[in-house]
């Protein structure tokens, strides 16, 4: 009876996960989707605590279980409530790492049970019967540990605590590490009595996770986090195999598949293959070849008052936010600018490149935080239609996503990447901190075109100065 109710709980859980992800795909229903999935999770968790039975006996240690749930809930809620919008991506990475660690710990404890049994019963029938279980445990452990270690490094990189680090032969070393870990895993499956190997595998997987993410540049972290997210999904699914638990299985595989697709979509938006992100450090290898090329000529600067004037008398202004806006946390100043220009009868919209910022959709979240209305955010295709009729494009800390080389220069490393075609507009004002190249490490011809002018400085400060200038116009 109890087991049947638990099965129903799990079915509800699985359905809400699918439904939740589906509703998350539409801005109008997204929040509901998240709450539905959370509700399903709650039912599945409660059902497990009170109804789960194995060989006729119920779960014990309620004090430990509720203690853990309470501690986790309090810390999780506080951390999630307190975090700044700009720090959202690293928060996701951190939580993802927790899930990976959880999967790895489950594997460790389950293996510990098995090796205790083995110490008593070493018959070949018993060994044969547990081999599939050991395989699942080993795979869950490797994937969970890689996901945990990788997510911690990604988290550290995004908040600036961990610097890029690579050495020659690192890729080969990584492959060797992974091969040794898998080899040890196979050996353990064949001969499960060598229980110490589980710790060797754990250590190798952790080192692999660290070295795997270390050389990848900070701007590629979204792709890495998305990939690690799907890894954790797969690790959770292995937990489902282990306990023959359908809700873990469906939830895990769902996230594994969706996360992998999302990762590929992100890579596509940057015109790179996943392999290239993971193996090649893009900026390092290509920059020298690309920058050494032709003489770019001169760029011109624009004064704040001039910039204020042409924007105040424009009919339509499009703002292109980028990484620089996120770093300077200038989203509120940006919205101020929009409001003050609106009062002067200027139409203001935002052109959002799919990979602007630190994560796809990051700019939307940031601008939403500053109360910018959803209708004013144009996706790339819409924006490209509107640039022709735009008087002023204001680029705030974006670079590669507006580089015309992606369209014109077949030799450019970013050739073929879809970009915002800002050069169709009448005037272009570029706010950057310096002339330093963007993440791809290449010069941007746009900055040297006659209709482009540069406005140097931190995005937030420049916007605030611009605001006071516009008030004076």
Partner 1 sequence: MQNVLQWVTNNQQIIYIVILMVFVGIEVIGRVPSVLHTPLMSGANAIHGVVIIGAIIVMGKAEADNYLALILGFLAVILGTLNVVGGFVVTDRMLEMFKAKKKKVNTD
Residues noted as catalytic: 400
Buried/exposed code over 92-118 (b: 16+ C-beta within 10 A; e: otherwise): bbbbbbbbbbbbbebbbebbeebbeeb
What does 195-256 look like in DSSP terms, one character per residue?
A: TTHHHHHHHHHHHHHHHHHTTS-GGGHHHHHHHHHHHHHHHHHHHHHHHT-HHHHHHHHHHH
| Per CB under 8 A, 398 contacts partner 1 | no
Binding to partner 1 in span 75-104, by CB under 8 A: 75-77, 79-81, 83, 88-89, 91-92, 94-96, 98-99, 101-103
Q: What are phi and psi of 379, to 5 degrees?
A: -80, 170
Pick the piece of the chain touching partner 1 (CB under 8 A) from 67-75, 170-178, 190-198, 456-464. Answer: 67-75
Least CB distance to partner 1 at residue 39 (A): 10
Smallest distance from partner 1 to CB 406, Å: 17
Q: Which stretch binds partner 1 (CB under 8 A): 74-82, 170-178, 293-301, 458-466?
A: 74-82
Query: One symbol per residue from 133 to 152: x for binding partner 1 (CB under 8 A), - otherwise; what is it?
Result: --------------------
**Residue of 392, 431, 384, 415 lying closest to 309 (CA atoms):** 392
Residue where the block lists tokens 């390092």: 284
Task: Quote the crossing angle between the two packed helices 124-158 and 170-190, to the nearest 10°.
Answer: 150
**Residue 216 interacts with partner 1 (CB under 8 A)?**
no
3-state class of 185 per DSSP? helix
Task: Give CA–CA dist 94/76, Å, rounded.
Answer: 11
Query: Would you count residue 386 as binding partner 1 (CB under 8 A)?
Result: no
For partner 1, the closer of residues 18 and 210 by Cβ is: 18
Smallest distance, partner 1 to C-beta of residue 447, A? 26
Least distance to partner 1, CB of residue 213, Å: 16
Minimum distance of partner 1 from residue 407's CB (angstroms): 20
Identify any residues that bridge with 301 across adjacent strands, giving them in sequence order: 454
Options 269, 325, 406, 422; binder of partner 1; rule CB under 8 A: 269
* Residue list 25-54, contact with partner 1 (CB under 8 A): 25-28, 30-31, 33-35, 37-38, 41, 44-45, 48-49, 52, 54
CA pair distance 59, 50, nearest whole angstrom: 8
**Contacts (Cβ under 8 Å, ≥6 apart) of 221:** 89, 93, 154, 157, 158, 358
Min CB(78)–partner 1 separation in Å? 9
Cβ contacts of 339 within 8 Å, gap of 6 or more: none
Radius of gyration, CA atoms only, the chain: 26
Say whether residue 207 binds partner 1 (CB under 8 A).
Answer: no
The answer to the question of residue 331 lying near partner 1 (CB under 8 A) is: no
Binding mask 220-249 for partner 1 (x = CB under 8 A): -----xx--x--xx-xxx-xxxxxxxxxxx
Cβ distance to partner 1 smaller for residue 113 or 461: 113
Sign of the Cα pseudo-torsion (459, 462, 468, 469, in order): negative
Record the tokens describing residue 437, joined without a space. Answer: 């190249």
Show the tokens assigned to 364.
């939307």
> Which residues, 337 to 366, sit near partner 1 by CB under 8 A?
352, 354, 359-362, 364-365
Tokens linked to 404: 């015309």
Q: Is 162 in the site for partner 1 (CB under 8 A)?
A: no
> Which residue number, 260 or 412, has a Cβ lying nearer to partner 1?
260
User: What mask, x for binding partner 1 by CB under 8 A, covers residues 173 to 202?
Assistant: ------------------------------
Residue 226: closest CA among 326, 327, 150, 325? 150
Q: Does 278 bind partner 1 (CB under 8 A)?
A: no
Instruction: Please state the closest distance from residue 144 (CB atom) to partner 1, in A.
Output: 8
User: Rounded to an integer, what distance in angstroms lies between the CA atom of residue 418 and that of residue 420?
Assistant: 7
* Residue 256 beta carbon to partner 1: minimum distance, rounded to whole angstroms: 7
| Residue nearer to partner 1 on the CB measure, 34 or 171 | 34
Q: Among residues 68, 183, 284, 297, which is the contact residue for partner 1, using CB under 8 A?
A: 68
Cβ distance to partner 1 smaller for residue 256 or 441 = 256
């Amino acid at each position: 009876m109890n087991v049947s109710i638990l099965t129903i709980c799990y079915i509800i859980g699985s359905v809400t996960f699918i439904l939740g992800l589906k509703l998350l795909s539409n801005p109008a229903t997204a929040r509901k989707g998240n709450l539905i999935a959370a509700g399903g999770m709650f039912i599945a968790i409660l059902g497990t605590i009170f109804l789960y039975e194995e060989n006729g006996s119920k779960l014990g240690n309620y004090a430990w279980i509720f203690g853990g749930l309470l501690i986790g809930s309090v810390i999780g809620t506080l951390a999630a409530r307190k975090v700044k919008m700009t720090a959202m991506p690293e928060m996701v990475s951190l939580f993802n790492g927790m899930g990976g660690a959880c999967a790895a710990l489950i594997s460790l404890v389950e293996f510990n049970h098995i090796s205790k049994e083995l110490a008593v019963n070493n018959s070949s029938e018993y060994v044969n019967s547990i081999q599939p279980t050991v395989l699942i445990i080993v795979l869950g452990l490797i994937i969970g540990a890689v996901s945990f270690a990788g997510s911690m490094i990604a988290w550290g990189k995004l908040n600036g605590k961990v610097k890029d680090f690579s050495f020659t032969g690192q890729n080969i070393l990584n492959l060797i590490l992974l091969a040794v870990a898998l080899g040890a895993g196979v050996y353990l499956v064949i001969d499960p009595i060598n229980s110490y190997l589980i710790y060797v595998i754990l250590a190798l997987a952790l080192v692999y996770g660290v070295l795997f993410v270390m050389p990848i540049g900070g701007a590629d972290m979204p792709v890495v986090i998305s990939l690690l997210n799907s890894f954790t999904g797969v690790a959770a699914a292995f937990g489902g195999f282990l306990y023959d638990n359908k809700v873990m299985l469906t939830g895990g595989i769902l996230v594994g598949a969706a996360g992998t697709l999302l990762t590929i979509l992100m890579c596509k938006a940057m015109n790179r293959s996943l392999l290239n992100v993971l193996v090649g450090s893009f900026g390092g290898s290509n920059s020298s070849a690309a920058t050494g090329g032709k003489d770019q000529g001169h760029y011109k600067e624009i004064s704040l008052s001039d910039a204020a004037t042409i924007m105040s008398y424009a009919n339509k202004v499009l703002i292109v936010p980028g990484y620089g806006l996120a770093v300077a946390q200038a989203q509120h100043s940006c919205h101020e600018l929009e409001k003050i220009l609106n009062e002067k009868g200027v139409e203001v919209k935002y052109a959002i490149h799919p990979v602007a910022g630190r994560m796809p959709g990051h700019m939307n979240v940031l601008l939403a935080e500053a109360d910018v209305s959803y209708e004013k955010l144009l996706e790339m295709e819409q924006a490209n239609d509107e640039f022709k009729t735009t008087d002023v494009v204001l680029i705030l800390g974006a670079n590669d996503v507006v580089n015309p080389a992606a369209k014109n220069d077949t030799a450019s490393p970013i050739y073929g990447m879809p970009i915002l075609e800002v050069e169709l507009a009448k005037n272009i004002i570029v706010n950057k901190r310096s002339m330093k190249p963007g993440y791809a490490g290449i010069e941007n011809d746009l900055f040297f075109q006659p209709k482009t002018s540069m406005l140097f400085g931190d995005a937030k400060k420049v916007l605030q100065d611009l605001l006071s200038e516009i008030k004076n116009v």
